[in-house]
Amino acid sequence: MKNKVSVIGAGNVGATVAQYIAQDELADVVLVDIIDGLPQGKALDLLEASPVRGFDSIITGTNDYKDTAHSDIVVITSGLARKPNMSREDLLIKNTEIIKSVTEKVAKESPNSIIIMVTNPLDIMTYVCLKVSGFSPNKVLGMAGILDSARFRAFVARELNVSVADTHAIVLGGHGDLMVPLPRYCTVCGVPITELLSGKKIDEIVERTRKAGGEIVAHLKTGSAYYSPGACATEMVAAILKDKKRLIPCAAYLKGEYGLTDVYAGVPVILGAGGIEKIVEIKLTKEEKNALHSSAEIVKKNIKKITI
């Protein structure tokens, strides 16, 4: 039996996730949206591309959550997107209501699924999903650290004129302006970038990584990133479906790790068939730990602003 992945939200991010999953033949895909015709049209368009791209995954578009029943993984992308001068926190109240409704339907139809949250403000929406679904924390995770790390890696590769395949990075904390890139854990073929770049240049890359989402929004003006979030969500799907045991930074629910409790934050995890199979605690300097706690504190403050 083929794997089944449902993608909630047929906007740019959701459609891109569906495209990548289908092209990689990871699973059959159900694309869901409240707008009649939108998921059906995009699913049909993707299906008609399959003979050319050479994939046999089936893509179905629907407005009915019953079609998502028994999904192995559900990727949630629905919600309002950021607009220029809009912070992730500005999205808080409206997207909380959307995610509560979506999660209730997902949990009813696929009670054994693993949920990957993509909707912003991501750490808070993942927390909402956990509380509403009643799922185990290892089965509700957010696509945060992997995207922030990918952006960090891309900027480093371009600065050093090396392949992105040889770059590795870890970004911790909330998926926002207070995320915590860790330059000493960023390497090129095992060589720390602290040995390859000046402190000033590293600081510039760190700051650009923190503002990367906003930089894209400023260019697009009427939307936000979708190729890179889509790719990162798909990498998480692949790690779970293939039981890859990948060490990937994701938004995970912390229960004392890193000195944090009852909050989601981007941390390194082992990602496999069980979802988050282990949270990996790496050694942090006092400054790095303080930055992580400051980032998590912002998430906690925003959680207090919503009703779950």
For 263-280, write each residue's pLDDT tens digit: 999 999 999 999 999 999
Domain's final residue, options 93, 120, 142: 142
Q: Contact, 177 vs 120, CB < 8 A?
A: no
- The predicted model gives 94-107 an average pLDDT of 96
219 annotated active-site:
no
Predicted confidence (pLDDT) at residue 81 exceeds the cutoff of 80: no
Question: Both 187 and 286 in a single domain?
Answer: yes
Q: Share the mean pLDDT of the chain.
A: 94
Q: Are residues 154 and 264 in the same domain?
A: yes
6 sits in which H/E element:
strand 4-8
Position 308 in a domain: no
Does residue 197 sit in helix, strand or coil?
A: coil
Q: What is residue 307's predicted lDDT score, i.e. its pLDDT?
A: 87
Identify the band that residue 176 occupies on the pLDDT scale cut at 50, 70 and 90: confident
Residues of the domain holding 161 = 145-303
Strand partners, 74: 6, 115
Two structure tokens written together for 28: 């059959």
Residue 85 has what pLDDT? 72
195-201: average pLDDT: 97
Q: What is the pTM of this model?
A: 0.95
120 lies in the same domain as 153: no
Measured distance between the N- and C-terminal CA atoms of the chain, rounded to whole angstroms: 36
- Tally the domains of the chain: 2
Residues 149 and 279 in one domain: yes
Identify the three-state secondary structure at position 110.
coil
What pLDDT does 222 receive?
83
Q: Among the options 70, 168, 175, 293, which is catalytic?
A: 175
Domain assignment of residue 179, yes or no: yes
Q: Are residues 195 and 226 in the same domain?
A: yes
> 76 with 106: CB under 8 angstroms?
yes
Give percent of the chain above pLDDT 70: 97
Q: Of 8-17, 49-58, 77-86, 133-142, which range is least confident?
A: 77-86
Q: Which of 106, 124, 142 is the last residue of a domain?
A: 142
Exposed/middle/buried for residue 98 (C-beta within 10 Å: 0-12, 13-18, 19+): buried
Q: Which two tokens stand for residue 268?
A: 């390194």
pLDDT of residue 87: 67
